Amino acid sequence: MKRRGFTLIELIIVIIIIGVLATLAIPQYLKAVEKGKLAKGKAGLALLAQAEGMYRAEKDTYTSVLGNAAGTTGLNSMVELGKIRTGNDGDWTYSITSATATAFTAQAVRNSPSPCGGSTVTLNETGTWNGIPGSPAATSGCASWR
């Protein structure tokens, strides 16, 4: 008599192999997702820096005001900031932490829940990044970004 199907041992071995592969793959996937979110945060900060440059060219000073929905005040009057204007795009909370006539610092804080929740990335008027790999303050960034 010929039997069809798999034995219990064969099924257990397959389940163990799938478990080992998942254990190796899931952390790498989450790291890749966080790197993508970092790129989104950097793009948001770059947009704020661009708007600050345009605002300063017109008003001869920087501003800490992101702007209103109508696009008539602050940085939103220079560039359409979209969800950044409200300070939160779902993954990051944006702000201009300091603004004077000659300098500004834009900040993005990674929202929780996330392995990198609370991590901060900043960009200033000279284009200096902090909180990301390769920056002067890279140790303050998230390990998933490395």
Complete edge-to-edge strand list for the sheet that includes strand 129-130: 92-99, 104-110, 120-124, 129-130
86 belongs to a structural domain: yes
Nearest to 62 by CA among 132, 130, 123: 123
Domain count, the chain: 1
Query: 80-129 pLDDT, tens per residue?
Result: 888 887 778 888 999 999 999 999 999 999 998 887 888 899 999 999 99
Is the pTM value of this prediction over 0.75? yes
54-61 long-range CB contacts below 8 Å, 24 or more apart? Answer: 54/78, 54/79, 60/101, 61/99, 61/100, 61/101
40 belongs to a structural domain: yes
Query: 119-135 pLDDT, tens per residue?
Result: 899 999 999 999 887 66
Range of the domain at 131: 8-145
Taking the C-alpha atoms of residue 132 and residue 145, their distance in angstroms, rounded to an integer, is: 7
Determine the 3-state secondary structure of 124 from DSSP.
strand
106 belongs to a structural domain: yes
1 belongs to a structural domain: no
The type of residue at 136 is P
88 belongs to a structural domain: yes
Query: 25-63 pLDDT, tens per residue?
Result: 999 998 899 899 999 999 999 999 999 999 999 999 999
